[in-house]
Amino acid sequence: MESIFGDVISVYTRAEALADGVLFDVSSMAKEAGFKFPVAITAELNEVINSIPEQYSYQDREGRFWDVLYMAALHCKRSGGQTVLYKVIMHHEVEATRGKKVIEELKLKAVIGPGDNMEPVITIMLPYES
């Protein structure tokens, strides 16, 4: 039986996204936070985690990763849905109107879906990413 959409032209796998640096595998720390499935974060979220504003220099990269993963684990367990929106108290700079930078809490999205071999995988990203 042929697909009503025609032949597949191109496929971009999760493994390729991890190899290309589009996604970052954080499964090791995620397991400590309570996840049972592989977890990756997007490159854009990785950049936010690593960009610590000067006035919050007491924060460190490992702590920020832990906050993202632990809060995701808590919200995912409570939700039971495929997509979970949550906040982390991790200050980061965002461009505001008139070119000023402001500090705000980080809003995130965790999505569980099929991996390359249809196994469950989780991706954590900024809310506007897909």
DSSP class per residue in 28-61: HHHHHHT--S-EEEEHHHHHHHH---GGGTT--H
CA distances 9 to 6, 62, 73, Å, are 9, 40, 36
pLDDT of residue 99: 66
Instruction: Give the model confidence (pLDDT) of 43-98 as tens digits.
Output: 999 999 999 888 888 889 999 999 999 999 999 999 889 999 999 988 787 776 66
What's the CA angle centered on 89, arms 88 and 90, to 5 degrees?
Answer: 95
Mean pLDDT value of segment 19-44: 98
* pTM for this prediction: 0.87
pLDDT of residue 2: 67
pLDDT of residue 61: 94
pLDDT of residue 45: 97
Q: Token digits for 69?
A: 């993963």
Q: How many other CB atoms are found less than 10 A from the CB of residue 91? A: 16
Q: Are 44 and 125 in contact (CB under 8 A)?
A: yes
Instruction: Give the model confidence (pLDDT) of 104-117 as tens digits.
Output: 789 999 999 999 99
